[in-house]
Amino acid sequence: MSGRILVGTCSWADKTLIDSGWYPPEAKKPEDRLRFYSEQFPVVEVDSTYYAIPQERNPEAWVERTPPEFVCSGEGPAGGAAGGGAGEDELLLQGPAAGDRR
């Protein structure tokens, strides 16, 4: 069995990451940071999906702002069927390289 392991961080908007100076000075807005982040890593965990299902426009914007092969990974909402904890439902969003934009 072959596969690949993707390594990223828990969020492109994490305060610790922003305060660390890792982002270039011109990456002031979240969308600028996502574009830069997606050029450095192949995947990101989207924390906000755990707390609520995002409005449709949000994931569409993530796809528009990242390369086709970039993956957004997130957990299903805390109140969802999974019930929280390990083994939660996982949401994956990948661009056109996956064959579908959603």
Both tokens assigned to 100: 């579908």
- Parse the chain into domains and list their residue ranges: 15-19+27-98
For every residue of 16-75, which 3-state class applies, written as one string? HHHHCCCCCCCCCCHHHHHHHHHHHCCEEECCHHHHCCCCCHHHHHHHHCCCCCCEEEEE
Statement: the pTM of the whole predicted model exceeds 0.85 = no
Question: Pick from 10, 14, 49: which is nearest to 30 by CA?
Answer: 14
Residue-wise pLDDT for 17-72, tens only, equals 999 999 999 999 999 999 999 999 999 998 888 888 888 999 999 999 999 999 99
Closest Cα partner for 47 from 20, 19, 23, 75?
75
